[in-house]
Amino acid sequence: MPNLALLILCFLLGMLLRRLGRFPEATPSVLNAFIIHVSLPALTLLYVHALPLDRSLAYPAAMAWILFALGFLFFAALGRALGWPRKTVGGLILVGSLANTSFLGLPMIETFYGPEHLGLGILIDQLGTYMVLSTLGILVAVTYAAGDTSPAAIAGRILRFPPFQAVILALLLKPFAYPPGVELVLGKLGATLAPLALVSVGYQLRLDALRGKLAALSAGLAFKLVMGPALILGLFAGALGAGGAPIQVTVFEAAMAPQIGASIVALESKLDPPLVTLMVGIGIPLSFLTLPVWWYVLQGV
């Protein structure tokens, strides 16, 4: 449970630093920029490079892609029906459709299913969640953010996005082994993502922002914590007849709180920052209540 303690501590530390007023208002922007340009690329170079490509793991790897597609359809339709601003819809698509499958997901897998399933969690996170964020996630971010949305402009922003560049580089380097020193450095740099991101989110969290955001927040958390994983369960276990521990762990990962990396991308793209911050700030502690329920439900799968 040390990872969970770290998440909670850094989140509270961010709130405390804002209250004390000892850090400048631009602190979240600086932290987010470091995460986008250093932490996320380092993690991508380390883990995508080491991923085993095995067709037997198709269900776990596909989960994040399917969940993101379902979230996109749900939030786009709901936003159109309720007349929400494009930036609100874009923010919800990113943080409501991508699960925190690493910093929250891995310790939760170890707690509920045992350490022998951590490899499956890493595969779901790296071949699924982070690959989606670095491709479709960036496409959503640049499309829903203000600015030039021509195909050339969107393609240019995706190609210039550091985590996406890291994905391409990691795949190109797969035939070659990293020297031990390189792996060590990438691991140390990547380890900064969780603490810095939670400090950033805690620093920006303002509960007074709930005014006017309650409907969007409720819809976002309802999809992320309940509806989305239920749809994945219905597809994999119901329609496709899959079952066993790998499917249980896969659906359990889908039920995690909003992904921290997705929130950073949304914040950097100015996609309704107050709502995005609330989604993460409230979604993580709320998931501590919903995840045990999902574990119980999944016992019969």
For the segment 21-30, what is each residue's pLDDT rounded down to a tens digit? 888 888 888 8
Q: Domain of 212: which CATH number?
A: 1.20.1530
Least confident interval from 85-99, 156-170, 183-197, 230-244: 156-170
Q: How would you class 38 by CB atoms within 10 Å of its CB: exposed for 0-12, middle for 13-18, buried for 19 or more?
A: middle
Average pLDDT taken over every residue of the chain = 86
Q: What is the pLDDT of residue 211?
A: 81
Confidence of residue 131 (pLDDT cuts 50, 70, 90): confident
Beta-ladder partners of 258 = 99
List Cα–Cα distances, 58 to 36, 98, 122, 144, in angstroms.
28, 18, 14, 30
The whole-angstrom separation of Cα 286 and Cα 273 is 19
DSSP assignments along the chain, one per residue: -HHHHHHHHHHHHHHHHHHHT-S-TTHHHHHHHHIIIIIHHHHHHHHHHH----GGGHHHHHHHHHHHHHHHHHHHHHHHHHT--HHHHHHHHHHHHSB-TTTTHHHHHHHHT-GGGHHHHHHIIIIIIHHHIIIIIHHHHHHHSSS--SHHHHHHHHHH-HHHHHHHHHHHTTTSPPPHHHHHHHHHHHTTHHHHHHHHHHHH--GGGGTTTHHHHHHHHHIIIIIHHHHHHIIIIIIS---SHHHHHHHHHHTSPBPHHHHHHHHHTTS-HHHHHHHHHHHHHHHHHHHHHHHHHHTT-
Least confident interval from 206-210, 228-232, 247-251, 255-259: 206-210
Least confident interval from 61-65, 109-113, 265-269, 275-279: 109-113
Could you count the other beta carbons within 10 Å of the beta carbon of residue 244? Answer: 9
DSSP assignments along 191-214, one per residue: TTHHHHHHHHHHHH--GGGGTTTH
Q: Which pTM value belongs to this model? A: 0.78
Boundaries of domain holding 66:
2-298
Structural domains of the chain, count: 1
pLDDT, tens digit, for every residue of 56-96?
Answer: 578 888 999 999 999 999 999 999 999 999 999 999 999 99
